Amino acid sequence: MKLPLQITLRDIPQSDALEAAIKEKAEKLERFHQQIMACRVTVEIAGKHKHQGNEFKVDIDITVPGSEIVVNHHQNEDVYVALRDAFDAAKRQLEDFAHKQRGDVKTHETPRAVAAEE
């Protein structure tokens, strides 16, 4: 990454373990696209429910040359599960973007007209 990773924790106490997990997952994203310019990760409590535990929401914003990849709305009661799901979605989007940039996108042939037999 050309710019340092930005981690924002909202309404969550600072946690070295959580920040270490985010850094590790962000570094792994570079396997799927070599030219990541910036990555911003926001973790927050999505809603405060009286009858249920809090859900954590993870948003990831990745800047690559020519585009910006945004992953949001990954929620779970376990912050690490929400983190895993969000980074899995980011990985898939980066892979798709890299395939499109390289021209590796599979195109389907148009069906040929079948000649009528007499």
CA 2/CA 76 separation, integer angstroms: 30
- 110, part of any domain: no
Q: Which residue has the tokens 């993870």?
A: 58
The number of distinct structural domains making up the chain is 1
- 29, part of any domain: yes
Domain that holds residue 90: 6-102
- 118, part of any domain: no
CATH number at residue 35: 3.30.160.100
- 33, part of any domain: yes
- 76, part of any domain: yes
Q: What's the pLDDT score for residue 21?
A: 94
- 115, part of any domain: no
Per-residue pLDDT tens digits of the chain, which is 118 residues long: 678 899 999 988 888 999 999 999 999 888 877 788 899 999 998 766 554 667 899 999 999 888 898 998 778 889 999 999 999 999 998 888 877 877 765 565 666 655 555 4
State which amino acid sits at residue 67: S
- 62, part of any domain: yes
Which helix (H) or strand (E) segment holds residue 6: the answer is strand 6-10
- 81, part of any domain: yes
CA 61/CA 70 separation, integer angstroms: 5
